[in-house]
Amino acid sequence: MKHVSCEPPQIKLLKLLGGLGAGDQAASENIYGVVGAAMQKAALHGNTIGNAIVYEAARAITTLYPNANLLQSGSFHSPPDWLSHDTVHF
């Protein structure tokens, strides 16, 4: 049986953008807006896919050239609901 990925395209894009902007200030400056918008829109949904996108956006932010405004955004600092959800099993 073949493994079929059901990863949302937003997550694949965020992984790609994180890799492209890693340590590159010029590339990162072009990526900040996309990652920030993806994180904010996904955080509004509060469902499993939205939480996965917020997580992947946070991972991308950590690989990009540092940007104080992006790091201080509300979505990055507010703890996701899934951390305290009853059905989460770590």
- The structural domain count of the chain equals 1
Q: Output the six-digit token pair for 87.
A: 């059905």
Residue 87 maps to a domain: no
Query: Which residues have C-beta within 8 Å of that of residue 60, sequence separation ≥ 6?
Result: 14, 15, 17, 18, 21, 31, 35
Cα distance from N-terminal residue to C-terminal residue, the chain? 28
> What pLDDT digit, counting tens, does each position of 39-85 carry?
888 888 778 888 889 889 989 988 999 888 777 765 555 555 555 55
Residue 14 maps to a domain: no
Residue 32: give the domain boundaries: 23-82
Integer Cα distance of 11 and 34 in angstroms: 12
Integer Cα distance of 38 and 17 in angstroms: 12
Given pLDDT bands bounded at 50, 70 and 90, which one contains residue 90?
A: very low
Residue 56 maps to a domain: yes
> What pLDDT digit, counting tens, does each position of 3-40 carry?
656 778 999 999 999 999 998 999 999 999 999 898 88
pTM reported for the whole predicted model? 0.73
